[in-house]
Amino acid sequence: MEIKINKGILSLAEGDITKQDTDAIVNAANKSLRGGGGVDGAIHRAGGPKILEECIRAGGCETGEAVITTGGNLKAKYVIHTVGPVYRDGLHNESKLLENAYKNCLKLASSKGVKSIAFPSISTGAYRYPLEEAAEIALNTAITYLKGQTDIELIRFVLFGQKALEVYEKVLKRLI
C-alpha cells in the first residue's frame, strides 16, 4: 500500500529491511548500539563490521534519539540507529519517546540529504510496544513530516510478517 503526501510517498511493505534499496534504513537499536536480536542483529549481520565500528565510536544512543552510520555491506548508504522505548504501561512517556525516535531519524536523514528511508516497526518486538498503538504513532509522525517538508521523497515501513502489515494498513486507512 502506498499513498502520496505533499511531494512524497508513504509506503507499507512486508519484507526484510536489510534488503531495501533506500538511501537509508533505520535500525531499532539498543542504547549500546552494539547489536542485539531482531532487526538490530539482522542489520549488523548483513551490514558487516564497519557498522559496529562506527556504532562503538558513536558511544551509544539515548531512547528517542538517533545516530547515523555507514550502510556497510547493505544496499542502503546509511543506517540510522534509534532506540525506541521499552513499553511498560503507556504511562511512562512511551508514546512521546517513540514519536521522538521516528522524528529524530527523519530529521537526521534530511540533514544528510537522504531522499528515501525504510523503517521497521520500532519497539514492537522485544520492547513489547502494542502494535496498533505503535503503528499510529509511526504513521502519524511520517505523515506530519511529509506534509511539512519536501526533501524526503519516500518513507517506507518494512514490516515483519503479514499480521504487522495488516495492522499498519488498517491504521493508515483510518488516518487518511
Domain of residue 20, CATH code = 3.40.220.10
pTM, 2 dp: 0.97
Residue type, 126: A
pLDDT digit string (tens) for 56-94?
A: 999 999 999 999 999 999 999 999 999 999 999 999 999
Cell 486507512 belongs to residue: 173
Mean pLDDT along residues 128-155: 96
Residue type, 60: G
pLDDT digit string (tens) for 6-58?
A: 999 999 999 999 999 999 999 999 999 998 888 999 999 999 999 999 999 99
pLDDT at residue 36, as a whole number: 87
pLDDT at residue 150, as a whole number: 79
Is pLDDT above 90 for 149?
no
Distance from C-alpha of 33 to C-alpha of 56, rounded to nearest angstrom: 7
pLDDT at residue 166, as a whole number: 98
Tell me the residue range of the domain where 122 lies.
Answer: 2-175
State yes or no: is 89 an active-site residue: no
Counted domains in the chain: 1
pLDDT at residue 77, as a whole number: 98
pLDDT at residue 20, as a whole number: 98
Catalytic residue among 23, 40, 89, 151: 40
pLDDT at residue 44, as a whole number: 96
What one-character DSSP code corresponds to residue 92? S
pLDDT digit string (tens) for 100-123?
A: 999 999 999 999 999 999 999 999
Question: Please, are residues 130 and 89 in contact by the beta-carbon 8 Å criterion?
Answer: no
pLDDT at residue 37, as a whole number: 87
Is pLDDT above 90 for 125?
yes
Mean pLDDT along residues 115-140: 97
